[in-house]
Amino acid sequence: MHWHNQPWFNHSIILAFIIASIVIEMCFYRKIFKSSAEHDVLDHVHEVGDGSLQQFKDHHTVIGDEGYTSGLYYSDWSPYPPRKHFPHDIDFSKVSHIYYAFFLIDGHTGELKSSDEWSDFQMDLYKPLAVKLNQLQLKNDDVHASMGVLPKGCVGELFYLRHTGILDRDKGRHFKVMMAVGGWSNRDQWPKMVRDPRRVENFINSCVETMFKYGFDGIDLDWEFPQNDGFEPRMYLELARKMRLKFDELEEVIFAGEPNHPKFQLSMATPAFKDKLNVLPIKELDRYIDVWNMMTYDYHGEWSPVTGYHCNLYDGPVKVHSQYKHDSSSDDEGLDANSAISDMINRFGVDSRKITLGMAAYGRGFTHVKASSNDKRFIDKSFHGVGGASEGEPGMWLYNQLPIKGSKEEYDPEYVSGFCFDHKTKTFVGYDNVESVKVKADYVKEMGLRGGFWWESCGDNHIDPQRSLLNAFTGRIKTIAKNENSVYHKPEALRYYLEKFGQDEFLSPFIIRIISKSH
């Protein structure tokens, strides 16, 4: 007879036996298994949704060892109207990193907290996922059968999608999910936290505990921005140092000295203009930072005296004819990506393969621009107002809302920026488009950078492949770095999760199910 026709008490007894076996294994694992037999308990993990068993080692060589990273910041406000953008809307075959934004600091305690518990941990996203699987004609029996144990919210769905690769079994499992901490709205809490040693310790411990509890592969620090007071920059360095040490301790506990295990990553959302870069102890920080995510956008906006592109690669026609490795030594602000990238490499000595180029899936605009009918370029002009079509974000349009209705999308090859201009309302918007992203992909390769990323995923066009910025970038880059597996693809990490948190933590039921299917 089929399993689902068996009496329920038989099912319960067998499940209870499996859980009891796992608990016994957790209790005695570190005392008993110290030889090669250590790996006999869980040599492979079942890919949920597939009837076969596959060894972990099979997943280390899906795409080779070379390539460039392709990252997306995913915000926990994305699922809500009008954006309605869910993790399962992302093409994970083209992504190496998801930066989940944001977890917030409580400056009075140093503790980390969710910025939206419903979106992060409680929203049920598996019904729309099942609909999408039906549309893609992919098998979805497992989604329906596992509703009771699948972790909820955007955080839970990302763990599920990364662990199963259900949207793309060849390439969809191979991406890291990073926990982004801070952000612009949380900027006032960093100075409060770093001025009390007890809060600093609470912050470090809370970050690493939260990271592991919710299945993140590392932490992305986003302090916007330390003041040039001699203290805050030094404390940012101390936070990075302490975080790295805490990562090392956790890895040692999980992997017990095993060589060549996956590592938790530490990245930093990095300012990309001289005024803020000069404040940071870049050379010292570089000892602890794995990835420098250069925020090469927001160069112009409502705060600017005149109009300008906000995500331009160069600052004018001189740069387009210069060599890529331009030595940015002028005294100007350097409001362009190339100046910031060049400073990181040439002034601060950062290895180019640790640097990722930020791109914008949104535009910044200006209204009532003083322009004539003969103008071909609309920067360096006076304006009055900033307009905007992105809810709650004055002066901003999501890329998928552009070009403005009634205007024409254009491209400036000297600055490397897309733009549009509405002649009726005199509204100018600068933004990344398919053409600028392709040039930036070439720049990444020429400069030997690690890759690129976007703020933020909900702004891209996920419906029209020809308009997708992610498609344009990865199509030009060719090879995405998929060789670095998630920590949670290793059985040791799953075992330690249950040992540390027990059966009732956020990911525990799903992890128990994974392990039970492998026995």
* Active centre residues (catalytic): 224
User: d(Cα 70, Cα 68) in Å, to the nearest integer?
Assistant: 7
Question: Cα angle vertex 358, ends 352, 363, to 5°?
Answer: 155
Report which residue type is found at 173: R
Would you say 89 and 77 are in contact if contact means Cβ atoms under 8 Å apart? no
* DSSP tag of 422: E
Residue 279: CB atoms within 10 A of its CB come to 18
Would you say 72 and 90 are in contact if contact means Cβ atoms under 8 Å apart? yes
| Helix pair 8-32, 508-518: axis angle to 10 deg | 90
Task: Record the tokens describing residue 12, joined without a space.
Answer: 């319960």
E-assigned strands of 142-277? 176-182, 218-222, 265-271
How many residues comprise the chain? 519
Would you say 350 and 292 are in contact if contact means Cβ atoms under 8 Å apart? yes
Helices (H), 4-112: 8-32
User: d(Cα 404, Cα 478) in Å, to the nearest integer?
Assistant: 31
* DSSP tag of 404: P
User: d(Cα 33, Cα 53) in Å, to the nearest integer?
Assistant: 23
Q: How far apart, in Å, are the Cα atoms of 487 and each of 46, 130, 493?
A: 16, 27, 7
Burial (CB count within 10 angstroms: exposed 0-12, middle 13-18, buried 19+), residue 476: middle
Would you say 451 and 69 are in contact if contact means Cβ atoms under 8 Å apart? yes
User: Could you tell me which residues come within 8 angstroms of residue 179 by beta carbon, excluding any fewer than 6 positions away?
Assistant: 100, 103, 207, 210, 211, 214, 216, 218, 219, 220
CA-nearest of 402, 467, 465 to 435 is 467
